[in-house]
Structure 1
Amino acid sequence: MTSTATVAPYRSAQHAGRDGFLRTLHGEWTKFRTVRGWVIGMVVAGLVTVAVGLLGAAGSSIACSGPDGGSCDHTPLLGPGGEEVRDSMTLVHRPLTGDGGITVRITSLTGLYAPGGRMQVGAAPGTGMTAGVQPWAKAGVIVKNGTEQGSAYAAVALTGSHGVRMQYDYTHDLAGTPGAASPSTPRWLRLTRTGDTLTGYDSTDGTHWTTIGTARLAGLPATVQVGLFTTSPEYVVTTSGSSGDGGPSKATAAFDSVALRGRTGGTWTRDLVGGPDRGPAADTSDLGYEQSGGTYTLTGSGDVAPQVPGRGSPGKTVESTLVGAFAGLIVVAVVATMFVTAEYRRGLIRTTLTANPRRGRVLAAKAAVVGAVSFATGLAAAATALPLVESVEKGKHFPMYPTPFATDVRVVVGTAALFAVTAVLALALGTALRRSAGAVTAVVVAIVLPYILAVAAVLPAGPSRWLTRLTPAAAFAVQQSVHQYAQVSADYTPADGYFPLAPWAGFAVLCGYAAAAVAAAAVLLRRRDA
């Protein structure tokens, strides 16, 4: 007698698990899209993001007067790379055709600044001016494509506190030998041209030279201007980590042992690059140069550097068009928490968990649905707000800081990711707390409030930086489009659009909080009764 056994067919546990999650995901998506209030809430989140940005732009205005009381030119000054720049200096120059170079010795660099006021003609310490050279005051040699503002250039300069630097095309800065100059310890500077390539050197004795670096200025014409320059940016007084008083400054440098190489023509010509309209330092009557034998003394004011937000510029940035994101996040947080707390309130969570006993799978499906919907909402809102708000700001004659298309895409996608992860964090808090009010309050306190305190300059710069470094509000760094330049003295605070962390590093902080909240919510969901 024989017996037969029935063998069940093999079923992949992996596929079953995946299919089970997909069914759960589909169920949660169906649940979300069939509740009209949640769908409307996400639409409202997108509309609020755009509306707040438009209201802010509509309520802004810019007014200034140019020379003789005329209107201002709001067109930003752009450098060779398309970035907004500053280009004001005292320049003594002559034409150079073809290859060549210039060598000088600097024996002193001194400065004056006017606390909270305008420059005074012939001012001296004790008569409204205070002695002191600004850290980024510059005096040195330069090769420039004409005297027009914003034109390509390369320079080797002695600075007030940062030693010798080679700078070119406004955004590039290379360090040379540190230290200051004096009659007993002068600094020698040299700049040579070979085709489109400029090479900078410095020396302490005029015999032994050190190469600082090279720069290639594409498209440099055959004839350029070569010479000496001096400039000095405005100073900023920082108190308790936030900017306070400030004003214009000027620097005076003594040059000698000037040696030119190559085909140079004409005589030395002085130009105040930037013209008479220099903002608070508009009095230029004592800016110029004197020549006595082989010694040249130049006095200059202004800066040759990138223009950064918050440094006397009314310019608007990409992130200013997305100022309404914080309001949209609040609405997203409300919808995300209600996606789970509504089931607790109505007792439907028992039905959900009975149909899907694997509670972690339910939480993951809910997080995926609310995260995806929030990402789509943020993407649509940011992609709509950016051009609309920018058009309003341009219509009000605000200059816009130019940004590459890739940066615009990163800001828009980053804002969408900010919406998505905030929604997941809110969902996790709603799961843990089981109450919408508490979860929404926690999101607002953790993300929105620190952001507002920081960007609205309610707090000093120091605490603002710590808030946007340690709290989930660090994720707003994904919206930063402006650069911080070592060669430009500025506050670089969140209020000016500068966050202490890199864009994706700040976003990672929020992701860390969200991951911890989801893990805690999963543990509580498994341990507690529905």
Structure 2
Amino acid sequence: MRAGRDSARGGGFGRAVLAEWTKFRTVRGWVAGMAAAALVTVLLGLMTATGSHTSCGGPDDACPAPPVGPGGEAVTDHFFFAHRTLTGDGSVTARLTSMTGQVRLPDLVQGVRRVENRVVPWAKAGLIIKDGVRQGSTYAAVMATGGHGVRMQDDFTHDTAGRPGGVSASSPRWLRLVRSGEDITGYESADGERWTKVGTARLAGLPATAEIGMFAASPGDLTVQPADFGGSIEQVRFSETTAVFDRVGLSGRVAGEAWRGDDIGAVREPGGAIHHPGGFRQSGGTYTVVGVGDIAPATDGQSVENTLTGVVTALIVVIVVAVMSVTSEYRRGLIRTTLLAVPRRGRALAAKAVVIAGVTFAAGLAATAVTVPLGTGILRDNGNIVLPVSWLTQVRVVAGVALLMAAAAVLALALGALFRRGTAAITAAVVVVVVPHLLATASILPDEAARWLLRLTPAAGFAIQQSIPAYPQVLANYVPSAGYYPLAPWAGLAVLCGYAVLALALAAHRLNRRDA
């Protein structure tokens, strides 16, 4: 008997969902509204992509695509490399005795260059093994930094912290990099006797013969100042770092006796000269390496979510449809008929939520699945650099935005059931979902206020569309106005879903406690 009752309950809910679906698809205005939301997503997204053009002044005006790392991400691979060829297992050891730098300052007098002598926080100098000198090739490095202590980094995205502290003549850093098959292990020491492991990287793509040696890089000096009317103003100044090594030792099958110097990723001027060249010189057992640039994931360029500018407008349409799908029944008195057909009021509301969520998700998925690939293709055709992402990330953006729209629709439906008046419910839904996102991303609020707004409100759900993560070891201004959200993608969506569930529970409580 109990199994029969459970089956009946399940069948009752299924019939309630079917009834709500039949009701929804027979109201032409609701169907047209969902179609309009999908169309707005596509049209505004493609229009934005069509209007975005970039020119770098080359032969075909197209900007050169950045190199791609082993994981398929766009990378910056620009540093000076003093190297030898190692075949098979082996190691390199060196003492880093000095790490100094220069930062270019704005000229006060035209033609009079101003520099400040200091090392930027993410300047890097140390030991590296790399698959040749091609940009984007696999590598592992152990290094000292300007302000973040010793680090072990590999393949651009991986970063492991060692001991804190800087480098000076009175406090040098001993570094060692050891290859054993595919495993590359970095060590540090204060005296060259007692060694501490920093980290180990497994480089499956590293060939038996690789380049190993010393390097230096300096990514630039980032300054961020609050703007007068919200947001921030950022400026990146050119910088370089100079590293001095001694006590350099190599083990294993190392070819030749001379060190070779390569300015990896150097930018050349029209005449062929290197723009801001690095350098290398050897004096007895002392080696000086001067480097600019960085070895890190690239963050400059368009991202796939830039094609989804129509989602905010589409969300407003979705909110209107979701609210009207319940408030119209109160306005016309049809809610009593609905509750007679489904006496369990919570079940009736849940059926409405399932239908509005399903319809919105289907419309959103169709729209984003068209907009993202077509929009990114248009951006590239217009000369823009579009930062590549994995197919899993692209699927997450496409399906995640559809889930965002569905969760917002359920929240709007619940608010409609709570307020029972369309204008009040639509206004409330727009205020809690759309307005915080606009305020946070339009440089209207201070950056920290914008971050908190996107942590605490339903607008946190927009984090699901972020395709490029914020890398702690990469110099950038990670703010909402630049497309970086304070919560991880799925965590942000979970906040929105939590609000939708809470609102639905409150609406069910009111529906059960008060007359329809």
TM-score normalised by L of structure 2: 0.92
Structure 1 portions without partners, runs of 5+: 1-8
Match of 2:222 in 1: 236
| Secondary structure of 2:6's aligned partner | helix
Aligned equivalents of 1:359, 1:242: Cα separation in 2: 50
Of 287-296 and 239-248, more deviation after overlay is shown by 239-248
Is the 2:128–2:212 contact (alpha carbons within 8 Å) kept by the matching residues of 1?
yes
Q: Deviations over 1:46-83 (max 9, x none)?
A: 111111111111111112235xx884543221012211
Match of 2:81 in 1: 91
Question: CA distance change for structure 1 residues 173 and 10 in 2, over 3 Å: closer, same or farther?
Answer: closer
Q: Which residue, out of 489, 498, 522, partners 2:475? A: 489
What is the RMSD computed on CA atoms of the aligned residues? 2.5
Match of 2:380 in 1: 394
Cα shift at 1:100: 2.2
Match of 1:470 in 2: 456
Question: CA distance change for structure 1 residues 349 and 394 in 2, over 3 Å: closer, same or farther?
Answer: same
Q: Which residue, out of 57, 62, 80, partners 2:49? A: 57
TM alignment of 1:105-504, pairs within 5 A = 105-115=95-105, 127-240=113-226, 242-262=232-252, 263-277=254-268, 284=275, 287-308=278-299, 313=300, 315-504=301-490
Aligned equivalents of 2:385, 2:2: Cα separation in 1: 68
Q: Which residue, out of 16, 19, 24, partners 2:16? A: 24
| Secondary structure of 2:126's aligned partner | strand
Question: CA distance change for structure 1 residues 72 and 28 in 2, over 3 Å: closer, same or farther?
Answer: closer
Q: How many residues align?
A: 508
Cα shift at 1:269: 2.2
Aligned equivalents of 1:12, 1:225: Cα separation in 2: 72
| Secondary structure of 1:114's aligned partner | strand
Aligned equivalents of 1:142, 1:20: Cα separation in 2: 66
Of 390-399 and 53-62, more deviation after overlay is shown by 390-399
| Secondary structure of 2:267's aligned partner | coil
| Secondary structure of 1:56's aligned partner | helix
Q: Which amino acid aligns with 1:269?
A: R
Q: Which amino acid aligns with 2:431?
A: V
Q: Which residue, out of 77, 80, 96, partners 2:67? A: 77
Structure 2 portions without partners, runs of 5+: none
| Secondary structure of 1:483's aligned partner | coil
Identity level (%): 54
Aligned equivalents of 1:526, 1:389: Cα separation in 2: 47
Of 259-268 and 370-379, more deviation after overlay is shown by 259-268
Q: Which residue, out of 508, 511, 514, partners 2:494? A: 508
Question: CA distance change for structure 1 residues 214 and 351 in 2, over 3 Å: closer, same or farther?
Answer: closer
Cα shift at 1:115: 3.5
Q: Choose 1 or 2 for highest CA Rg.
A: 1
Q: Which residue, out of 36, 46, 50, partners 2:38? A: 46
Is the 1:92–1:227 contact (alpha carbons within 8 Å) kept by the matching residues of 2?
yes
| Secondary structure of 1:267's aligned partner | strand
Is the 1:96–1:265 contact (alpha carbons within 8 Å) kept by the matching residues of 2?
no
Q: Which amino acid aligns with 1:495?
A: S
Question: CA distance change for structure 1 residues 21 and 249 in 2, over 3 Å: closer, same or farther?
Answer: same
Question: CA distance change for structure 1 residues 37 and 153 in 2, over 3 Å: closer, same or farther?
Answer: same
Q: Which amino acid aligns with 2:93?
A: T
Match of 1:4 in 2: none
| Secondary structure of 2:199's aligned partner | strand
Question: CA distance change for structure 1 residues 258 and 440 in 2, over 3 Å: closer, same or farther?
Answer: same
Aligned equivalents of 1:466, 1:473: Cα separation in 2: 11
Of 48-57 and 406-415, more deviation after overlay is shown by 406-415
Of 155-164 and 487-496, more deviation after overlay is shown by 487-496
Cα shift at 1:85: 0.6
Of 517-526 and 153-162, more deviation after overlay is shown by 517-526
Cα shift at 1:402: 1.9
Cα shift at 1:469: 0.6
Of 286-295 and 501-510, more deviation after overlay is shown by 286-295
Question: CA distance change for structure 1 residues 278 and 24 in 2, over 3 Å: closer, same or farther?
Answer: farther
Aligned equivalents of 1:347, 1:195: Cα separation in 2: 75
